[in-house]
Structure 1
Amino acid sequence: MDYTGLIQMLLENMESPAPSGAKRIITFVNPQHYEAFQQTLQELKARHPDWPDLPSSSLLQSVMTPLSGSTKMLDAYKDDIIIEEDSLIQVHTLANKIQGPGIPYGVKQIKAPKAWSTSTGYRVKIGVIDTGADYYHPDLRQSLAKGINLLNRHMLPMDDNGHGTHIAGTIAAANSTEGMIGVAPRATIYPVKAFDHNGSAYVSDIIQGIDWCIRNHMHLINMSFGMKTRSKALLDIVNKAYVSGISIVASSGNDGKRRSIDYPAKYPQTISVGATDRNRRIASFSNRGEFIDIYAPGDKIISSWTHGKYHEMSGTSMATSHVSGAIALLLAQTPDLQPAEIKALLLQTATPLRTKKGQQRASEGLEVNALKLLREGMKRKTPAP
């Protein structure tokens, strides 16, 4: 295989401006070809230090690159590589407005405060793939680890949008005196900045984010975003996280649909989340139906925001962060649970949702119950030898 020729072809394409939607994910069929490609790339870069980087995922054996022309020029390598279009992906959120701090109703609704005497999520590592986080927010100072900025690897993953800071606050804010408390206040969030200031990212950014989370031994990953199209490369890296024992909690989308949800939540390896309101009914905007595993509060949720502020937001994104926090409480006590066991426990201990007539029915859906989840999980704890 002519690695040098392939590298030069890709780098030449990077120099010409690529039209919108012309990014590609290139996966090597043979892992040895990927290794040889990377070795050749490093050797060439040593001679040409000004050459641009080619983002990659070692776990997927993929490189990501813009292609300004058609992919026909890569036909010579068609037996050795798989080429996939790199789609845009959006964070799942609706409205927002400034509100004061307080203990958010969602944290109480899932009974997290009643679980804190047993678990606060201590030492659980959560990768939040989002817009970054506000490292200076007083409610998050104890909760954030370094993480990674995939858009600029030399910088901290600072949030220039607000969405990621909001998610982080619901999961693990820890300012009981003046600010708010999240579901798992002693868990540690590793912000993985894959989304820009508009809340947009490419699938390749998500892949690199999950790759980073696996290699840095996260216990779970929060993914409050989605897209309509299926991506094989994204499914493959989600599966690698699942097999390595990492639960992925993913928001289902805000289209109010009954028979469909967004990817990656639609993949069975994730825990797909829908949103409820204060009355434990499905929020009007939330997707619903058979593809939803669990529901959580997602309507008018107050949480932390950039510049030390607070915002009220609605969306399945907000619901997802409640579920991630509940799982963190569980994993702090029973760290050996696998993703399939965690999903089963979530469903087994959840509260049936209310119908429009106010009756509780499991057929409507199930809302996460952090207290019951923790109690049932403790029964599974393996006794120390």
Structure 2
Amino acid sequence: MKLPRAACAAALAAWLSLGMLGGCATPGGAGAAATDTAAAMRDDSERYIVLAVDNPLAAPAGRAGSSLGGYGPSPRYLLGGRAAATLAALAREHGLKEAAGWPIVALGWHCVVFELPSGRSRTELLATLAADPRVRLAQPLQDFDTHAATGRAAASAASAAASAASATGHVPYNDPYVNLQRGFVDTGAAQAHRFSTGAGVRVAVVDTGAALNHPDLLGRVVATRDLVGEPAERFESDRHGTEVAGVIAAVGNNREGIVGIAPQAGLEIFKACWARQANTAPAATPPGTAAPRPDTSARCNSFTLAKALASVLESDARIVNLSLGGPSDPLLDKLLAELLRQGRVVVGALPPDGRRGGFPTGTAGVLAAGVAGELAPAMADVVAAPGRDVLTLQPGTGYDYASGSSIAAAHVSGVAALLLSADPRLDRSALCALIHGASAASPLNASAALEALRSRQAPAKRML
């Protein structure tokens, strides 16, 4: 059954009005109804499943989505007739109600989130669908979390960071809080910036939204995409993504706040997570007294993350920062494998329990980042990076301290950007080896990684 063109157009318009890559298979529906459905998926994921079928389409004439700011695939790339007929038949046979759909061009699939019929066992239904030859993938809609932690007393963190800064000598930046940046100082970032500042490298940040108009992010965010569909103002007020973005690429020498590990890298922000609680902008200066920080954690699901990773596959970002995690997920694992196959550098945050299984750190080839000083000796395959009381950005014009493996991952992504900027020909395996080597003494040292890269380059230059 091929859906009428008018129904496809209506569905596409409804989903795109939410900032989503819409699925043409959903007939009609107003924006408010789509918003309610998206909220229901976030609030009660156990009522939904994710299903994928083959979606053979003509290859696009050019690289679809290479400019994320204007990413909007032509309807002929959304849903083919064969996939539409298969999905309609499956929905009819099992009493399923479609909640959302989207194409994954890189895999040749069309994915759909279906709502289960009342009283139907999700486990039994998934087993039945998995055995159906028409189905490429059938799995539960799962939840994932960002790996943030509430920081300790800001005053003690500032004192420790200032002591570290004085021990390493003058940091050549006019940004007023640079000597309070524990991570910046501990990684030797200022020394690394003699050779590289991340120019020409794009980092995809799959997270919440971020404060695009923060004075320390102006000019650094080159593309954005909202895969959640919350009101636009929520994007700017999201804390977790703002914190991660600030660590990676806060502007240097602008007489404002702090400096990022890779201050000239370009950021592509993919909002796939939503804040657990409402955000409020903090004061414009670092707090000088101890105070409890609000919960900055956020949640994502298989649907929002899959759409984000599918968009990253169509982007120019060479580094993908995933400061989040959760259970192993067949669809997300498939997308992650494709990113790695393309040579992208993927950085994931180690879960709070320290176990590498699950998405994304359970996948071989992913750089797993943990908090320096909190890793067991047996975790030699985890990159130890600063992640405790690190000064970074907050929504509005604010600055505050953040902790957790989310922040450690951001440091690793920043150092990866420095390496790729210094040598764009560097492949993923060589880059990972440099980063692991530079974190052997804990924490990851950006200056040591750049020195090791320069040592590798010297013999090659002598042979020319």
TM-score normalised by the chain length of structure 1? 0.80
Q: Which moved more, 1:128-137 or 1:229-238?
A: 229-238
How far the C-alpha of 1:142 sits from its partner, in A, is 2.1
Structure 2 residue 116 is matched with structure 1 residue 40? no
DSSP 3-state at the match of 1:148:
strand
In structure 2, distance between residues paired with 1:220 and 1:76? 33
Equivalent runs, 1:139-154 vs 2, <5 Å: 139-152=216-229
How far the C-alpha of 1:235 sits from its partner, in A, is 1.2
DSSP 3-state at the match of 1:352:
coil
* Closer/same/farther in 2, CA of residues 240 and 8 from structure 1, 3 Å limit: closer
Structure 2 residue 261 is matched with structure 1 residue 183? yes
Amino acid at match of 2:336: V
Query: Partner of 2:304 in structure 1?
Result: 205
Query: Partner of 2:102 in structure 1?
Result: 55
How far the C-alpha of 1:12 sits from its partner, in A, is 10
| Conserved? CA contact 2:55–2:80, under 8 Å | no
* Closer/same/farther in 2, CA of residues 164 and 9 from structure 1, 3 Å limit: closer
Query: In structure 2, which of residues 92, 97, 116 is the aligned counterpart of residue 68 of structure 1?
Result: 116
Query: Partner of 1:363 in structure 2?
Result: none
Amino acid at match of 2:268: Y
Q: Show CA shifts across 1:53-101 (max 9, x none).
A: 6233222314131313246498599111121112010110110487897
| Conserved? CA contact 2:320–2:345, under 8 Å | yes
Equivalent runs, 1:79-158 vs 2, <5 Å: 79-81=133-135, 82-96=137-151, 102-103=177-178, 104-152=181-229, 158=235
Structure 2 residue 341 is matched with structure 1 residue 300? no
* Closer/same/farther in 2, CA of residues 300 and 334 from structure 1, 3 Å limit: same
In structure 2, distance between residues paired with 1:225 and 1:127? 14
Structure 2 residue 103 is matched with structure 1 residue 25? no
Q: Show CA shifts across 1:208-259 (max 9, x none).
A: 21221121121100000011x211211111110011111000000223x4x5
Percent identity over paired residues: 20
| Conserved? CA contact 1:260–1:287, under 8 Å | no
Q: Which runs of 5 or more residues in structure 1 are unaligned? A: 45-50, 277-281, 354-366
* Closer/same/farther in 2, CA of residues 37 and 224 from structure 1, 3 Å limit: closer
Q: Show CA shifts across 1:127-170 (max 9, x none).
A: 00001110110101121112211123995982433000000000
* Closer/same/farther in 2, CA of residues 368 and 157 from structure 1, 3 Å limit: farther
Q: Which runs of 5 or more residues in structure 2 are unaligned? A: 5-22, 59-75, 86-97, 159-175, 277-297
- RMSD of aligned C-alpha atoms? 3.6
In structure 2, distance between residues paired with 1:147 and 1:288? 39
Amino acid at match of 2:138: I
In structure 2, distance between residues paired with 1:271 and 1:220? 11
DSSP 3-state at the match of 2:274:
coil
| Conserved? CA contact 2:45–2:141, under 8 Å | no
In structure 2, distance between residues paired with 1:120 and 1:27? 41
In structure 2, distance between residues paired with 1:240 and 1:157? 31
Query: Partner of 1:342 in structure 2?
Result: 431
In structure 2, distance between residues paired with 1:76 and 1:327? 39
More strand by share: 1
Structure 2 residue 331 is matched with structure 1 residue 267? no
In structure 2, distance between residues paired with 1:249 and 1:194? 16
Aligned residues: 353
* Closer/same/farther in 2, CA of residues 210 and 305 from structure 1, 3 Å limit: same
| Conserved? CA contact 1:351–1:369, under 8 Å | no
In structure 1, distance between residues paired with 2:356 and 2:339? 24
Query: Partner of 2:70 in structure 1?
Result: none
TM-score normalised by the chain length of structure 2? 0.67
